Chain A
Amino acid sequence: MTELSYEQARAELASVVEKLEAGGATLEESLALWERGEQLADVCQRWLDGARERLDAARQARDQG
């Protein structure tokens, strides 16, 4: 799961949401899709948080330096 790049995770997330919205899956499948969607969203969020942290750290280092 952590090997996914931000773009991969986001693309898969979008396709999961589309599948969920389209309906037609069994309950079990739907739940599995939803869980996958949550995982993917977490991956995306981690990437974005990481990017922000790095930006802040760089900015702080620069302001101190």
Chain B
Amino acid sequence: MTEPTNGSSSPEQPWPVRVVSQKIGAWIGKLGWVWIDGQVAQINRRPGTTTVFLTLRDPSADLSLTVTTNRDVLDLGAPELAEGARVLLHAKPDFYPGRGTLSLRADEIRQVGLGELLARLEKLKKLLAAEGLFDPRRKRRPPFLPQRIGLITGRASAAERDVLTNARRRWPAVDFRVINVAVQGPGAVPQMIDALRVLDLDETVDVIVIARGGGSTEDLLPFSDEALCRAVFACRTAVVSAVGHETDTPLLDYVADVRASTPTDAAKRIVPDLAEERHLIAQVRHRLDRGVRHLVDREQHRLDALRSRPALAKPELLLDRRQEDVTALRARSSRTLEHRLTGAVSDLGHTLARLRALSPAATLERGYAIVQRADGAVLRDPAGVTGGERLRVRLAGGELTATVAGT
């Protein structure tokens, strides 16, 4: 029997299982020894044997591999190894042809201590900062009043209750879409990333809150996960981190658009306080009212002032001044006339007096008489008068007629 190990398989010349199995084994063997960083999801010490099975997970993704090792190896490098621990191991992938399964065979396992984990986080923080993931200019601003809030948090957790209760108290009509996830341990990161993606795709959600109450530094490690940080950075929706912590700030806080100190604080940052806003609006309205009233009143005063100026308010003044002119002129003219008249009267008097002074009446008063002949000629000389001639005699008191008796 020849084993067709070379060339390609075909319907006419299929490969037997053993050949495929052997080829797979050879391919897998080519990877050789590698150093692997992962998280222990399960640990299974089989009683009665020295073999230990571990399920090694990627902390950031839903991927795992089986690791087989020896109890001695474990006792040497990680004697206290428990589920959730971070490990560094030296292993080679092995294919078990009997069941067609793959496993990593580890000859060295080191538990990664908290100190080292924190040192790694510090390095990661620098890297992400250098890439601009923490850049304040890249932060999105959550809406003043979100129509819907996405909430990623532990099921029935205090964090969930704090966010929901406080947000509702501030703004009773607030709407949430809650996705419950594991917030610690293996699985936390992939679940949170999934939830983030779902909420980011939901058009009705316009702000996302990732909330968790306080916890130990180890418990909070998922919130510093690189994949989670990158997923948050990639979100189009604004993300609020609300992880209660005391000392070590999770990297999520740096990459999130808004950093709340606690889930309660997050509620304050995502919705406005209705009562407070109402009060503010009332205040502003009042000021607006007063301002506009004041404006109208001020203009009214200006208008009143213009209207009350004599030039407008008393147009008769316009006439009065001219009336005065006319009256004055009229008075002047009448005065002038009167003056003239008086002058004329007095002239007349003088003339009359002179006339009177020249009149013979006064002389007659003294007893003189004027004798006139019939033709009116004044008689100045008796010569020429004939007897019997009639003469007119004018006395002061009147006239008489006389007849000449003799010459």
Q: List the interface of chain A (C-beta within 8 A of B).
A: 6, 10, 13-14, 16-17, 20-21, 27, 30-31, 34, 37-38, 41, 44-45, 48, 51-52, 55, 59
| CA of A48 to CA of B299, assembled, Å | 8
**Could you write out 11 A-B pairs with CB less than 8 Å apart?**
A6-B299, A10-B299, A20-B312, A20-B318, A21-B309, A34-B312, A34-B315, A34-B318, A37-B312, A51-B296, A55-B293
Q: Are B303 and A27 in touch, CB under 8 angstroms?
A: no
Minimum CB distance partner of A41 in chain B = B307
- Does B218 make an interface contact (CB < 8 A)? no
Q: Are B303 and A17 in touch, CB under 8 angstroms?
A: no
- Partner of B303 from A16, A31, A34, A44 at Cβ < 8 Å: A44
Q: Are A48 and B312 in touch, CB under 8 angstroms?
A: no
Q: How many A-B residue pairs have CB under 8 A?
A: 50
Given the known inter-chain contacts A21-B311, A41-B307, please indicate yes or no for A48 contacting B318, CB distance below 8 A.
no
Query: Closest approach, in angstroms, between the C-beta of A36 and any C-beta of chain B?
Result: 10
Minimum CB distance partner of A52 in chain B = B296
Q: Are A55 and B292 in touch, CB under 8 angstroms?
A: yes
Q: Are B312 and A41 in touch, CB under 8 angstroms?
A: yes
Apart from A10-B303, A37-B312, A59-B289, what are 12 other A-B pairs with CB-CB below 8 Å?
A14-B306, A20-B318, A21-B309, A21-B310, A34-B311, A34-B312, A34-B315, A41-B312, A45-B303, A48-B299, A51-B292, A51-B296
- Chain B contributes a number of interface residues (CB within 8 A of A) equal to 17
Q: Are A38 and B300 in touch, CB under 8 angstroms?
A: no
| CA of A14 to CA of B302, assembled, Å | 10
Given the known inter-chain contacts A31-B318, A55-B296, please indicate yes or no for A48 contacting B311, CB distance below 8 A.
no
- Does B155 make an interface contact (CB < 8 A)? no
Q: Are A13 and B318 in touch, CB under 8 angstroms?
A: no
Query: Closest approach, in angstroms, between the C-beta of A3 and any C-beta of chain B?
Result: 19
Query: Closest approach, in angstroms, between the C-beta of A23 and any C-beta of chain B?
Result: 9
| CA of A55 to CA of B299, assembled, Å | 15
Minimum CB distance partner of A50 in chain B = B296
Query: Closest approach, in angstroms, between the C-beta of A11 and any C-beta of chain B?
Result: 11
- Does B322 make an interface contact (CB < 8 A)? yes
Residues of A within 8 A of B289 (CB): 55, 59
- Partner of A17 from B300, B306, B318, B322 at Cβ < 8 Å: B306
Q: Are B318 and A27 in touch, CB under 8 angstroms?
A: yes
Q: Are B322 and A27 in touch, CB under 8 angstroms?
A: yes
| CA of A41 to CA of B296, assembled, Å | 15
Binary flags per residue of B283-302, CB closer than 8 Å to A gives 1, else 0: 00000010011001001101
| CA of A7 to CA of B310, assembled, Å | 22
Residues of B within 8 A of A10 (CB): 299, 302-303, 306
Chain B contacts with A in 190-219, Cβ cutoff 8 A: none
Residues of A within 8 A of B310 (CB): 21
